[in-house]
A = this chain, B = another copy of it.
């Protein structure tokens, strides 16, 4: 059953990515091309919150030039939120959908957005309001179940692996007389996909990173220190990628566990400064560390062309499948061939993408758990391939978010 000529609503949720707006551009362009002319596509500011507060904009009339700007700009053009719908908000939600005759709600986000989609679907159904709910995947964490990879991950992975290749070369240059250890902290509270992807930077034994620390494996400090020392003795230096969500054998996240330094003081920073302090304390090596934080999920200047293509295709497929009558689904990426890498977009029910988060399989790591295995490399390597530079102006990326027209 086709929803047209009813209108549609698009919103963005959760942490941004370098290519979230690429998905938006792909979705908007597909709607402009495929939906009946009288069906409008609206956008909500700050995700579902903008629906509740009636901050809607018109996306139907964006020009090709505006969509091109959008696709070359990181962040979330409409703004995002993380919000769990409360009982008193249910009737407002249905009122707003009804007022604008919304037949399809596209919610572009990660696991939280997928669960919100299920909630919206249940609320609309309870309110007797016919609504097709489409979860459009996005996350740098790569943890959405049922997919081969998620739009946003490949670009963050490319950024981190590039950064670690660069920083490892830096470290090696002066390790003889100065810092011998470098630690890069990556995002990922529950899954270590981004940290695993850092392993792509090493082309041969000895090239950094020498150690990967994922939350999938309990952190063993004594073993970690031994491995750092081994690398320094063998290669002269040791570069490390560590997940922010690294946990000890007690299941406590390291940086939140009230860890204290030698002076008994609590550590306020992230995992990287904490590990650096331990290394210096135990081994006497001078360390450098970096916390990439937002930089890794906003680096549109170093987006993966593969990721950009997948992000755009995901947005377009959401529209195409919905207009073809697919209901209450998520368009996810499925790998159809390893080498050469081939993929397609497949709709899966919302119940699939709201399942338990995907974690890195242990076979993606070397037997000792500190490196990327051949199997892990085969999975991750194609996702960072290709460059897709934004336009630059005056030496900086010329990011431009469209001026959206608010609805009255």
CB interface residues, A 35-58, toward B, < 8 Å: 46, 49
- State the Cβ distance, A273 to closest chain B Cβ, in Å: 4
- State the Cβ distance, A79 to closest chain B Cβ, in Å: 5
Nearest chain B residue, comparing its CB with the CB of A76: B173
Q: Mark A67-92, 1 if CB is under 8 A from B, else 0.
A: 00000011110011111000000000
Residues of B within 8 Å of A167, CB to CB, are: 293-295, 298
Query: Out of B79, B80, B267, B387, which one reaches A268, CB within 8 Å?
Result: B267
Would A158 and B268 count as touching, CB distance under 8 A?
no
- State the Cβ distance, A14 to closest chain B Cβ, in Å: 8
Q: Which of A128-136, A142-150, A299-307, A343-351 contacts B (4 or more CB under 8 A)?
A: A299-307
**Number of A positions contacting B (CB below 8 A):** 76
- State the Cβ distance, A135 to closest chain B Cβ, in Å: 19
Nearest chain B residue, comparing its CB with the CB of A83: B177
In the complex, A335 has a CB within 8 A of chain B: no
Would B169 and A75 count as touching, CB distance under 8 A?
yes
Given A273-B268, A396-B384, residue A294 in contact with residue B171 (CB < 8 A): yes
Would A395 and B399 count as touching, CB distance under 8 A?
no
In the complex, A190 has a CB within 8 A of chain B: no
In the complex, A1 has a CB within 8 A of chain B: no
Q: Which of A16, A182, A384 has the most CB of B within 10 A?
A: A16
Query: Out of B177, B270, B273, B294, which one reaches A170, CB within 8 Å?
Result: B294
**Distance of A386 Cα from B392 Cα, bound (Å):** 8
Query: Out of B82, B173, B182, B260, which one reaches A177, CB within 8 Å?
Result: B82
In the complex, A103 has a CB within 8 A of chain B: no
Q: Mark A297-317, 1 if CB is under 8 A from B, else 0.
A: 111111010100000000000
Would A396 and B291 count as touching, CB distance under 8 A?
no
Given A75-B172, A268-B268, A291-B289, residue A397 in contact with residue B298 (CB < 8 A): no
CB interface residues, A 114-172, toward B, < 8 Å: 158, 161-163, 165-167, 169-172
Would A290 and B291 count as touching, CB distance under 8 A?
yes
- State the Cβ distance, A157 to closest chain B Cβ, in Å: 9
**Distance of A16 Cα from B170 Cα, bound (Å):** 6
In the complex, A367 has a CB within 8 A of chain B: no
In the complex, A176 has a CB within 8 A of chain B: yes
Nearest chain B residue, comparing its CB with the CB of A387: B392
- State the Cβ distance, A80 to closest chain B Cβ, in Å: 5
**Distance of A304 Cα from B394 Cα, bound (Å):** 11
Would B397 and A74 count as touching, CB distance under 8 A?
no
Given A81-B176, A288-B294, residue A384 in contact with residue B389 (CB < 8 A): no
In the complex, A250 has a CB within 8 A of chain B: no
